[in-house]
Amino acid sequence: MNPLRGARISGTGSDLPDKILSNAELAETLDTSDAWIRERTGIERRHVGGSTATMATNAGRRALDAAGLTGVDIDLVIVATTSAEQMMPGAAAVVHAELEIRGGAHDLNAACSGFVYGLIEADSMIVAGLDHVLVIGSDALSPWTDWTDRSTAILFGDGAGAVVMSACDEPSLLGWDIGADGTARHILFTDHNDTIKMDGREVFRKAVRAVMESAGAAMDNAGVEPEEITWLIPHQANTRIVDSICEKLGIDTDKAVMVIAETGNTSAGSVPLALHAAVDDGRIKPGDLLLLAGFGSGMSWASAVVRWQE
């Protein structure tokens, strides 16, 4: 094995369904208000009516285009999702067919931290010998939302993001951490044929603590200090969670890339959606140090420190 072999992100993409649901529209049928949702979550609107597999395919195609690759170049596609349309096969099978991918395909269910898990696992697969891995986070949670429950209906939306990871001699993934606490799986779950159930306050509390410890471990493993981080790319669950994480880690809140106002919580889609937004608008530049941080149902969490390359 080449000790210098590593992976870099060679392309990014994202996709959101066309239909937008504003806070004001939600307040027409729920005992809530635009002001309450903005103030307590940072969310202004969310996109709904998406298909997990279609959004994954669209985001994946855009990431391939950005990398200058096609499906025949891809050794493996990983779709992080909790909302595949069929019990089997996974959403990755649809993406595999639609993008004419040559290699393997599988889904990864680690809820909202799934994309960061996928990124770390893709890096390992590239170190082990693969050349290009497509990692997608895609979730359509609108069909699983109880639109009469104001404690969850205000939070979730549909969306997808994707990256291509490609082999290179200068590893981009400098440090990472993964973790879980299965004893907390009752605080955020969805049963078959049911809707999302959540203890919001408990999730909030545990999420801040988990990200603080996990992101700290990833930075330690990478040998970097919080003040060296150029951009924090956090899971977009609640602006107040991100503010709290920034404060505890000692990272300025204006370094956090946020898309939550537009998207709500898109589960596995959220980290790559935010990453792509900041790549697309030119905020992320070669040499920048990124801290990706996901957390969600499980509880599960994953953090990664990435040096951005041209």
Q: Which residues are catalytic?
A: 112, 235, 265
**Site residues (CB under 6 A) for ligand COA, limited to 156-175:** none
Phi, psi of 111 (to 5 degrees): 50, -135
- Residue given tokens 């909790």 in the structure block: 82
Q: Which residues are within 8 A (CB) of 147 and not within 5 positions of it... i.e. 6 or more apart?
A: 29, 30, 153
272 binds ligand COA (CB under 6 A): no
One character per residue 85-124, x = contact with ligand COA (rule: CB under 6 A)? ---------------------------x------------
Measured distance CA(46)–CA(24) in Å, rounded:
11
Measured distance CA(216)–CA(87) in Å, rounded:
36
Q: Are 74 and 102 in contact (CB under 8 A)?
A: yes
Q: What is the DSSP string of 226-281?
A: GGG-SEEEE--S-HHHHHHHHHHHT--GGGB---HHHH-B-GGGHHHHHHHHHHHT
264 binds ligand COA (CB under 6 A): no
209 binds ligand COA (CB under 6 A): no
Q: Are 174 and 224 in contact (CB under 8 A)?
A: yes
Measured distance CA(196)–CA(102) in Å, rounded:
35
Task: Look up residue 230 and give its two tokens.
Answer: 């150029």
Q: Site for ligand COA (CB under 6 A): how many residues?
A: 20
**Residue of minimal Cβ distance to ligand COA:** 200
Q: Are 71 and 63 in contact (CB under 8 A)?
A: no
Closer Cβ to ligand COA, 13 or 296, answer by number: 296
Closer Cβ to ligand COA, 14 or 265, answer by number: 265
205 binds ligand COA (CB under 6 A): no
266 binds ligand COA (CB under 6 A): no
Q: Are 126 and 5 in contact (CB under 8 A)?
A: yes
Measured distance CA(88)–CA(106) in Å, rounded:
11
- The secondary element (H helix, E strand) that includes residue 132 is strand 132-140
Q: Which one of the spans 85-93, 149-157, 168-176, 221-229 is the region binding ligand COA (CB under 6 A)?
A: 149-157
Nearest to 176 by CA among 256, 118, 112: 118
The minimum distance between CB 113 and ligand COA, in angstroms, equals 8
Closer Cβ to ligand COA, 73 or 149, answer by number: 149
**Site residues (CB under 6 A) for ligand COA, limited to 28-87:** 32, 36, 40-41
**What is the DSSP pairing of strand 76-80 with strand 45-47?**
unpaired
Of 19, 201, 283, 285, the one binding ligand COA (CB under 6 A) is 201
Q: Which one of the spans 69-77, 162-170, 197-205, 211-219 is the region binding ligand COA (CB under 6 A)?
A: 197-205
The minimum distance between CB 48 and ligand COA, in angstroms, equals 17
Q: Which one of the spans 9-17, 57-65, 150-158, 251-259 is the region binding ligand COA (CB under 6 A)?
A: 150-158
238 binds ligand COA (CB under 6 A): yes
Q: Which residues bind ligand COA (CB under 6 A)?
A: 32, 36, 40-41, 112, 150-151, 154-155, 188, 198, 200-201, 203-204, 207, 237-238, 265, 296
